[in-house]
Structure 1
């Protein structure tokens, strides 16, 4: 009897077909399914859709006669077209929707997730030890390094530091005309890295009070890295603070002065990072103070944001700042 293994479009690395307990085996045949319903469920950036489909088809070409590649309306229909009622294994998918689907199919046997350093059971045990308390990324990061012996010298971090967050708060060097690499210096697609994503796009959404679910969905659709395991912690948790602070210690937002200090993104802008009123007032600066005012009680109780609330009381023109900021409720900056 033929052993079949199902690969999703984000399970294309060689480790997803490496033999393991419960499957797949070296002789397992592979089924891959292009489901049109996936691209209808939410609007995709064209480049992201192209990359996913191209990656799947290239992987299928590498596997040659080992793969049965199906284009269908849905995964369920594609699986039936490929295998009928035959049994198939699949590694734990990376999205809730896909996980719910495979669990609903009697012919599918679910295997442990691959692609992560830590098994899900180990993470669950770590989280359970904390009960209803905090699940800080920094705490988990240190725990993993201890558990796996990564960049540690005994009980201490290699080099004497657990992280280099302090360096991330320093102003980057200016005046470098190139990065020592051939043009283009930035990727043509998906070139909005950590700072633009979180400190600009995410911060603006947080300040404006947009629905975190809709913001997360937008990131899902518009970025190549837009998958649940990336977007939920980075957008829902870190960027939008929509988990109530279980993962991070404070909302990830700032005024224009910080953005100007930490980047070159303010050069040529029509607004002035230091202005909080008037026609040239920076939308991030007015948005920051408006956000702090709106959530004064919550922020005052957090030692990492209490200073922002204290700053509110020293502004002297808070009502003017709030009035300036309200114009962005009606028009884009």
Structure 2
């Protein structure tokens, strides 16, 4: 007889999950389910759906081999419910129990569904993170500004990573100043490790192709890791072959190299196949051996124990309405170019094409190309949020919404970012080779060939002057604008408005 149902969600594929630690193999039943509500609440990239479903199926097999009873529902099962709660109720009726044990979900949407379910749900904390939600609340309580840098330092002290007693290794907490170098083509540079789909994954690919073939995104070739063993191999490959150059070139972009020195481990970390501390300890070990410089090790560790932990804390602190925020009042629809529509902007074309084919783009492509354009153009941040949530393999709302709504679109009013991350085309030109092959000229500030980033940058500052002119980090921008000849300012604003009108009319920009 089954005593309890143990729910394991698709991003909880960790053998040390709290719900599994508290469960009894002899009397409890693990419930895993592929359901329509989870595959369809946004139009997910087919690669993302395939990654999650294949990883789930492999994890279920591993649990069975470890002695667990597992009730697994496939998306195409005739009896399948549309929702997680529906599957719990179906399994509960089959086995005569209403007791459910679950590790806290990472999204408000699922939290609400489980809390309102007609079942007895026992929710355990998710301790796969370094900072508990209570720890974050204690850190945040009473602070006027919740800046990541100070939280990150506490996480360094807590973990002991890159610490020399109570001081940061190398004498500095942050080496970001050293991590802004443009990259050149290098035929010797490795790529992230690729894996050949096995029979389980091939079955998933066929299912996803049949059901989600019209979604934005290319399904094949599919090369993601789908098991913990594969994810550990991917970590090892990154640490040995790519980490050393990560710091220097983490902000760089190249047309011919989509990955540069990035690890592409975030999909596996956010699924639960890897843990944050084990990744960081491996990174630290490479630095201790002298195989990588400290700016590479520190820059990577900061992304995980600093930024990732910080945005999770903020997501839950700010509440379920966070993705709806729009303090700048932006209302423009997401341009069709984000879904693969034609554009003359080479940087946007490359970032979107890479996203379509890989379900991946690195943080600068997301922040300073696609995110920057959406913010400058005044696109509705909820539409931007839903796009990022849909198209990236590592996107789950707890990590994606703060990065998009807060960091990228400044729609939370500055909770995360002290200023909006906007730039003209100069930044993209400095950090990439995109501009040389573009229809537009990054050097032209006005005229038919002027880079849209150049025009929209000043238009953004002009229309939001009341909000940002007193921001100490933006004073130089406004002083530069004010020194321009009045006729030139009028020309910039006129041409920016004309460009936005073309966007609104669905014309190619």
The alignment partner of 1:61 has SS state of helix
CA distance in structure 2 between the partners assigned to 1:160 and 1:182 by the alignment: 31
1:4–1:272 Cα change, 3 Å: same
Note if contact 1:34-1:72 (Cα within 8 Å) is conserved in structure 2. no
Query: Structure 1 pair 19/69, CA: closer, same or farther in 2 (3 Å)?
Result: closer
Deviation of 1:173 (Å) = 3.4
Distance 1:292 1:203 in 2: 13
Q: Distance in 2 between matches of 1:305 and 1:199?
A: 17
2:16 is aligned with 1:15: yes
Match 1:166 to one of 142, 161, 177: 177
Alignment pair present for 1:147 and 2:318: no
Choose the corresponding residue for 2:90, options 78, 81, 85.
81
2:437 to 268, 272, 287: 268
Asked if 1:33 corresponds to 2:23, the answer is no
Greater Cα offset, 90-99 or 285-294: 285-294
Q: How far apart are 1:177 and its partner, in Å?
A: 3.7
- Partners of 1:165 and 1:157 in 2: CA distance: 14
Asked whether the equivalents of residues 18 and 125 of structure 2 are also in contact (C-alpha less than 8 Å), the reply is no
Q: For residue 50 of structure 2, what is the aligned residue in structure 1?
A: 50
In 1, the alpha carbon distance for the partners of 2:12 and 2:147 equals 27
- What is the CA-CA distance between 1:158 and the residue it aligns to? 1.3
SS in 2 for 1:139: helix
Instruction: Report matched runs for 1:77-116 at 5 Å.
Output: 77-84=86-93, 85-105=97-117, 106-116=119-129
Aligned residues: 328
Does residue 1:229 correspond to 2:398, yes or no? yes
* Separation (CA, whole Å) in 2 of partners of 1:284 and 1:78: 48
Q: How much does 1:304 deviate? A: 1.0
Distance 2:42 2:7 in 1: 23
Deviations 1:10-42 (A, max 9, x none): 11122226864xx23465431112121223322
Q: Please give the alpha-carbon distance, in whole angstroms, between the structure 2 residues aligned to 1:183 and 1:146.
A: 32
Q: Give yes or no for the alignment of 1:296 onto 2:308.
A: no
2:100 and 2:122 in contact (8 A); partners too: yes
Alignment map for 1:243-262 (pairs within 5 Å):
243-262=412-431
The answer to whether the Cα contact below 8 Å between 1:4 and 1:88 also exists between their aligned partners in 2 is yes
- SS of alignment partner, residue 129 of structure 1: coil
Structure 1 length normalisation: TM-score?
Answer: 0.91
Q: Relative to total residues, which structure has the larger helix share, 1 or 2?
A: 2
Give the 3-state SS of the residue equivalent to 2:141 in structure 1: helix
| Contact persistence 2:360–2:393 (CA under 8 A) | no
Cα distance in 1 for residues equivalent to 2:359 and 2:126: 26
Gaps of 5+ in 2: 74-79, 195-256, 260-356
Instruction: Say whether 1:119 aligns with 2:132.
Output: yes
Distance apart, 1:178 and its partner CA: 4.1
| Counterpart-to-counterpart distance in 2, 1:83 and 1:298 | 54
- Mean Cα deviation higher: 285-294 or 56-65: 56-65
After superposition, the C-alpha distances for 1:50-72 in whole angstroms (9 at most, x for unaligned) are 22222212212222262111232
Higher RCO (C-alpha under 8 Å, 6+ residues apart): 2
Distance in 2 between residues matched to 1:112 and 1:41, nearest whole Å: 25
The answer for unaligned runs of 5 or more in structure 1 is none
Give the direction of change, closer, same or farther, for the CA distance of 1:14–1:114 in structure 2 (3 Å limit).
same
> Which secondary structure state, in structure 1, belongs to the residue aligned with residue 123 of structure 2?
strand
**Aligned-partner Cα distance in 1 for 2:382–2:360:** 23
Measured at CA, do residues 217 and 244 of structure 1 come closer, stay the same or move farther in structure 2, by a change above 3 Å?
same
- Paired residue for 2:492? 321
Aligned to 2:268: none
Question: What's the offset of the Cα at 1:181?
Answer: 4.6
Contact 1:92 1:114 in 2 (8 A): no
Q: CA deviation at 1:109?
A: 0.5
CA shift at 1:182, angstroms? 8.7
Please state whether the residue corresponding to 2:122 is helix, strand or coil.
strand
- Cα deviation code 1:258-308 (max 9, x no counterpart): 110112222311111121111110011111111111112322211111111
CA RMSD of aligned residues (A): 2.2
Change (3 A) 1:296 1:204: same
Distance in 1, matches of 2:193 and 2:169, equals 35
Following the alignment from structure 1 to structure 2, what is the Cα–Cα distance between the partners of residues 258 and 128?
36
TM-score (norm 2): 0.61
